[in-house]
Amino acid sequence: MLTDAECRNATCPPEKSRARLACSGGLYLEVSPAGSKRWFWKYRKDGKEGRMALGSYPDIGPKDARKARDAAKLEKSKGRDPVQVRKVEKLKTLTPAANTFKATALEWYEQKSGSWSSHYAIREKRNLEKDLFPFFADRRIGDIEAIELLAVIRRVEERGALDVAHRVLTTAGQVWRYAVATGRAVRDVTPDIRGALKPHHGKHFAATTDPVKLGELIRTIRGYQGGPIVRAALQLAPILFQRPGELRAAAWAEIDLDAALWTIPAARMKRRKEGKENGDPHLVPLPTQAVEILRKLHPLTGHGALVFHGERSHDRPISDNTLRAALLTLGYGPDVQSVHGFRATARTLLAEVLDFDPLVIEAQLAHAVKDANGRAYNRTQYLKHRADMMQKWADYLDKLAAGADVIQFKAA
């Protein structure tokens, strides 16, 4: 074994590119002609010779070099590549030191939120701040056990918010996976408790799909005695079957009555942030019945920006609760027919009764769909098909309201 004195006095002959002085167990000191000295450990992996740098002399003496060699041997005996192990350890030192749950979660949020819609970003932040930070903020995320997280999630369940409990667990899972990726935790503990949560079955929006009952509903809506703005919105909801928020916030600038077309900007659609910023607008062909309703409404609200402005402020649209309350006054509570449920009504009857292509229906619903070849559906290219479908749908609603030509569902 090399002594400190031997290392200190070691030189490289001028005729050699380097000199190697063996120590023991594959450890040697390499000396360059310029006088620099470095420790290396020689080993074999998969039948090939490799070497691992252990530091420079005199910063590391012979004794410490042998300890470093023994540590590398131990890693190799465990079936791990000691060089790769050291690379991982070096990467860990480059990771920000803050390894608490809160610091990790906020870093994850900062990394990801730029691509989210504002609604999704707000929801994720609320999950963290309301249900996770109060219990784990200052804890090392790598020390938190699954049973602790389960106890916190069950607090959410005890509030009766089963859907929120599952969302909080999903948020926690994303934070844990980020912690694993950045070396703050060894593993994601969230899968361990997923099966322990109470099941949550999302509620479908109530929708009338029986043709006879739908005819009764349309007649009832047409007899609504409330204000003209709400009446017009109620009448258009089943005809156009767009999302309530998209309908309520419609602007006159989006609507071309002469062309019978409503162009909803991408920013107002239910999409991810990238889709809102760079996506195409959603086109809604207007059947003649919708155009007539809008023309009658225009003298009342056309001087402003919004088609369905509120009573208190013309700069704000009517609220979703306004339309819900209007349906309720007509005898249609949220368990019978919701405003959003008109989408399901149209989807069902257009396919099952009027026999329209489900692909065309889904496109008109502004759902992301693909054709049989896996290509994204081109909403603009098939505008003529959708215009025809929308007119036939409006005509069908007129017939149902008149109590005539009620086409039953096709036999299964």
| Sequence letter at residue 170 | T
Name 327's Cβ contacts closer than 8 Å, sequence gap at least 6: 234, 333, 337, 338, 339
Catalytic residue among 112, 270, 273, 385: 270
Catalytic residue among 66, 309, 343, 347: 343
Q: Is 243 a catalytic residue?
A: yes
Q: Which of helix, strand or coil describes residue 10?
A: coil
**Closest Cα to residue 4, out of 17, 23, 18, 20?**
23
Catalytic residue among 69, 340, 347, 386: 340
Q: Is 367 a catalytic residue?
A: yes
Q: Is 270 a catalytic residue?
A: yes
Contact assessment for residue 246 and residue 320, using Cβ atoms and an 8 Å cutoff:
no
Name 382's Cβ contacts closer than 8 Å, sequence gap at least 6: 360, 363
Q: How far is residue 16's CA from residue 396's CA, in Å, rounded to a whole number?
A: 95
**Closest Cα to residue 175, out of 93, 113, 115, 114?**
113
Q: Which of helix, strand or coil describes residue 51?
A: strand
Catalytic residue among 140, 377, 392, 399: 377
Q: How far is residue 412's CA from residue 409's CA, in Å, rounded to a whole number?
A: 9
Catalytic residue among 243, 248, 282, 386: 243
Contact assessment for residue 371 and residue 382, using Cβ atoms and an 8 Å cutoff:
no
Q: Any idea which residue has 């290219």 for tokens?
A: 381
Q: Is 66 a catalytic residue?
A: no
Q: Which of helix, strand or coil describes residue 280?
A: coil
Residues designated catalytic = 243, 270, 340, 343, 367, 377
